Chains A and B, each alone.
Chain A
Amino acid sequence: MSAPTAAPEPLAETEDTAVHVPNRRNVELGLLALALIIGMFAYANVDLAVLGDLPPNFLAVGAVFIVLLGGAHLAVRYLAPYADPFLLPAAALLNLLGLAMIHRLDLADEQRAARQEIGTPSPDVVPQLTWTALALALFVAILFFVHDHRRLQKYTYTAMVLGVLLLLSPLIPGLGTTVNGANLWIRLGPLSFQPSELAKIMLTIFFAGYLVVTRDSLALVRRKVLGLGIPRGRDLGPILVAWGVSMAVLVFQRDLGTALMFFGLFVVLLYVSTQRRSWLVIGAILFVVGAILGYFAFGHVRLRVEVWLDTWTYASDQGYQIAQSLFGLANGGMLGTGWGQGYPQFVPFAKTDFITAALGEELGVTGLMAILTVYGIIIERGLRTAIAVRDPFGKLLAVGFATVIGLQLFVVIGGVTRLIPLTGLTTPFLSYGGSALVANWMMIALLMRISDRARRPLPDGTIDPTGGLG
């Protein structure tokens, strides 16, 4: 044993620096204020362009958001003081932009109703605002009740049961409702609800908890082919089950997007937990097999692909939506038409699936790129959290949440811009729809809880004097 070399002075300094770990809550507050200003700017701009006047309730709406976002920020200060400072403002900005666009499309609906002399439709922005308040309340509740994300690991199999039940619940007769050909809603009295959105949180918890335990055997390699380790035959079970469930979702619920998202999430987590590239290859092969089977077996999948490849043949019927979306994006061009000055209402379902097309038309490529960068920031912070946190369950959970948001975004925006066949998922935080908004805010809350763990200085004093050394 070598003699201790530490002098007492640096150690004293060490303890001093440990006290001053920056938590950057003020950065969060500043960015949150900027996000609020941008959101209110958008709101004012919509009314100025469409109605020619400032909205009468402008200050009241501003006050509501100051209370909501300020409340969330204060909750983070007390409940998760070391949490990542960028997640909350980025998610809040997207949420506000979504509300502004939904309001803008409400105005377009009202004007159309007035022209056709039918009753004014009730604005969709009001329920969406209520859902935003509820989602932020749940955000605070999760930070309050989940002190330590590692406790969620105990509920690995509970989460699996809940997740699968939620995913399959639209199939229960009397509960499920078919909306626009996809069977992914349940109706409880007056509330309709999209359970796959909550299922993605449950299944991420399950995948993370399950893979933490089983990754060692799944990482085993029997032989190498072309530089890739081939896993043992019996370890193929889990990925085949995940593939089968995804195919079941595709067959029975006709929901291509959800199927793709869950299978992609499982493959990514399998790869991250085992560090074996062969799982990515096996996942890709299974995906291709599933896609080919889906194409030949199911008319709705084949139709989606044909519309994707040959949009203009179908531009007046099945491809109307995607064609209008492309016209809108072209009309927007580089700088957009400006809030309230395009025609995003021509795209069917502009408030839900096609909200990015509406934003692309009115804000242009310039605005859409800014929005995509904000998503990129959320995903980057999620992955950064995964790197920083030290427990393997937290790592997988953070990677899982970032992956879900990233995959969902790719599937939606790829569909809207005709990069890939249209699948129909909501755009996180932007789209109209309460269950999606609530689920996405819950994911942000859990990511912030994990990042609080990762960035918090250790409670037991960070370093011991080396006096007893040797």
Chain B
Amino acid sequence: MIPLCPMKLKSSLENYVFILPAALIFVIFYLIPFTWVFHLGLYEWDGISPTRVFVGLANFKEILFEDRIWWASMRNAGYITFIALTLQNALAFMLALACDRQIRLKNFYRVLFFIPPVLSEVVVGLVWQWILDGNYGLLNSWLTSAGFGSLARSWLSDPATALTTVAIVHCWKGFGWGFLLFLAGLQMIPRELYEAARADGANGWSCFKHITLPLMMPVAVLVAVLTILGTMTGFIMIHAMTNGGPAYHTQVPVLRILASMMPPFSRFGYACSQGISVGFVLVALSFIQYRFFLLRRDSAQEDT
């Protein structure tokens, strides 16, 4: 019975030639590390020694109740995320509205706004660190020559300003990305809707309120979720600008994970537990946001 269908056998083997490379790479370099994190999080291990000590949920207990720097880093990331959600996304939305009109040089602006997002975080971090330098930075030099010399300071090493400065640089890097998505969303709104509303005597503001805003809600939720995910896990720019300093004022979760893993701590299990903790928060947050949005949309549909 074996030679029943050699053609078919050959054919299904050939199918695996297509999928095997992707499946192998995916399993080895994504799936195994991903699942392994949950396993390693239960151990105390330095990453090198042949034996690791099973500690159960002790790592998570330590994160929750003892690791004050971890909580400070979560708070900092929360603060940066809040600034990104408000300042960055509001700016992105306003720019998108401005560029959605019949306006000259539209494409020119569009090209420029997306330059910060294509630059690497290392480049952005190091350039801004130089501009914000307390002694020789461009910003302080401009402030002084504009007569605001009293405002000049070491933006990144002054505990009072470090976190906000880092957050603003984050917004600088990210607003062009939000702008792009908002603009794509605005351009999907059918022009006829506005024309019809105008014909019925609606003014600019009521067009905005009753057409633009409701139709842009899905895009806004998407941008918000992605902003949260991106900002809470972002750390490279901060790594380049302050590396968490001064005195933990700009620490963020992934910087802590990295610190736990590297010497002198070398606590691989603890680093994994930290990763799981922040991953859990992120999944929960984006889930809540989607649910909230879907609920609102459903009830809005019932109203109409």
Q: Do A and B come from one complex?
A: no
Interface of A toward B, CB cutoff 8 Å: none
